[in-house]
């Protein structure tokens, strides 16, 4: 039993799609979230920069006394998870491996991946999936405009529709489309419209929350005390649309009301 909070970070509001899943599958756990809005976007930055930014946010979370860390960001998972595991002794979970395990379990082999330019360049998704699933066919597309549009709150308008169409139109014969950036579930409705009915849309938040749940259980780190969980959100820069976009995701508006600058 460990009553400390779970720590998580992303470059901005995208990781809140993972936060939402953690809230519902782990209703006893406190969560501390950092949105590194001062450094947004992570998507086009170099691996060296992503490592430095991840280090800083992980240290910030450790200073807040969390029991484990979720990198709720595809870009940071694909380019910095390995290095962070090396540097820190605290348990750290990213978004790629839990999702690859799920794809294997479901025997899905024809897979589309959409993610930021940095994530696609790193081949982090491709390598992990190929390691787990023999004979997988993977089509990857970088979608550099989507995360900035999500931060702007443009998640359901005509421009978002056109941009998504342009990015996914050439994906052929896929059985699943992995939303390889945590901002993308915000566009889930529009993405679904662009794909054939049979294509499964993979929101990594669900797989990550299952993995966190399993990890806590296996290591006896669950918070077993029945209580109203504490959720705390910090931003590295508060001059942004975080509240507006996050409130479309999270029902309980009190969670996003008392945001602090870190
Ligand atoms: N949500 C992040 C990801 O999963 C970062 C997007 C960005 O900052 O460009 O990749």
SS (H, E, C) 15-79: CHHHHHHHHHHCCCCCEEEEECHHHCCCCCCCHHHHHHHHHHHHHHHHHCCCCEEEECCHHHHHH
3-state helix, strand, coil in the chain (%, to 5): 45, 15, 35
Does 183 contact ligand 1 (Cβ within 6 A)? yes
Catalytic residues: 73, 181
Does 124 contact ligand 1 (Cβ within 6 A)? no
Separation CA 106–CA 95 (nearest Å): 17
Task: Give the end-to-end CA distance of the chain in Å, rounded to a whole number.
Answer: 28
The phi and psi torsions of 85 (rounded to 5 degrees) equal -65, -30
Residue given tokens 């450790």 in the structure block: 62
Yes or no: domain 6-94+206-261 corresponds to CATH 3.40.50.1860: yes
* Probe target for ligand 1 pocket from 34, 80, 182, with the most ligand atoms within 8 Å of CB: 182
Residues in the chain: 262
Tell me the domain boundaries of the chain. 6-94+206-261, 96-204
139 sits in which H/E element: strand 137-142
Separation CA 59–CA 38 (nearest Å): 16
- Provide the b/e sequence for 65-95 (b: ≥16 CB within 10 Å): ebbbbbbbbbbbbbbbbeebeeebeebbbbb
Does 42 contact ligand 1 (Cβ within 6 A)? yes
> Between the CA of residue 243 and those of 104, 239, 260, what are the distances in Å?
36, 10, 11
Give the per-residue pLDDT at 147.
98
Separation CA 167–CA 13 (nearest Å): 21
pLDDT digits (tens, 9 = 90+) for 150-185: 999 999 999 999 999 999 999 999 999 999 999 999
- Tens of pLDDT, residue by residue, the chain (262 residues): 999 999 999 999 999 999 999 999 999 999 999 999 999 999 999 999 999 999 999 999 999 999 999 999 999 999 999 999 999 999 999 999 999 999 999 999 999 999 999 999 999 999 999 999 999 999 999 999 999 999 999 999 999 999 999 999 999 999 999 999 999 999 999 999 999 999 999 999 999 999 999 999 999 999 988 888 999 999 999 998 999 999 999 888 888 877 999 9
**18-24-29 Cα angle (round to 5):** 90
Cα-to-centroid distance, 227 and ligand 1 (Å)? 32
Give the per-residue pLDDT at 226.
83
Does 75 contact ligand 1 (Cβ within 6 A)? yes
Give the per-residue pLDDT at 200.
98
The yes-or-no answer to whether 6-94+206-261 and 96-204 have a common fold is: yes
Give the per-residue pLDDT at 227.
86
Cα-to-centroid distance, 75 and ligand 1 (Å)? 5
Q: What is the architecture of the domain spanning 96-204?
A: 3-Layer(aba) Sandwich (3.40)
Give the per-residue pLDDT at 233.
97
Does 14 contact ligand 1 (Cβ within 6 A)? yes
> Between the CA of residue 89 and those of 10, 41, 50, 69, 233, what are the distances in Å?
20, 27, 19, 11, 23
Give the pair of three-digit tokens for residue 207: 């797989």
| CA atoms within 13 Å, Cβ hemisphere of 27 | 4
């Amino acid at each position: 039993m460990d009553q400390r909070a779970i720590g998580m970070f992303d470059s901005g509001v995208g990781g809140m799609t993972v936060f939402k899943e953690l809230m519902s599958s782990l209703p006893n756990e406190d969560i501390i979230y950092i949105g590194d809005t001062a450094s947004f976007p992570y998507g086009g930055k170099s691996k060296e920069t992503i490592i430095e930014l991840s280090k800083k946010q992980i240290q910030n979370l450790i200073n807040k006394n969390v029991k484990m860390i979720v990198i709720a960001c595809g870009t940071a998972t694909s380019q910095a998870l390995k290095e962070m595991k090396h540097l820190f002794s605290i348990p750290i979970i990213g978004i790629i491996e839990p999702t690859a395990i799920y794809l294997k379990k479901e025997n899905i082999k024809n897979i589309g991946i959409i993610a930021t330019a940095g994530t696609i360049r790193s081949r982090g998704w491709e390598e992990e999936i190929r390691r787990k699933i023999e004979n997988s066919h993977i089509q990857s597309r970088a979608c550099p405009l989507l995360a900035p549009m999500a931060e702007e709150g443009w998640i359901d308008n005509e421009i978002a529709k056109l941009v998504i169409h342009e990015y996914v139109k050439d994906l052929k014969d896929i059985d699943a489309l992995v939303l390889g950036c945590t901002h993308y579930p915000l566009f889930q409705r529009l993405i679904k419209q662009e794909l054939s009915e049979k294509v499964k849309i993979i929101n990594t938040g669900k797989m990550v929350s299952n993995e966190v749940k399993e990890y806590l259980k296996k290591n006896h780190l669950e918070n077993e005390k029945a209580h109203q969980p504490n959720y705390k959100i910090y931003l590295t820069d508060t001059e942004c649309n975080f509240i507006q976009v996050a409130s479309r995701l999270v029902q309980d508006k009190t969670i996003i009301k008392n945001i602090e600058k870190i």
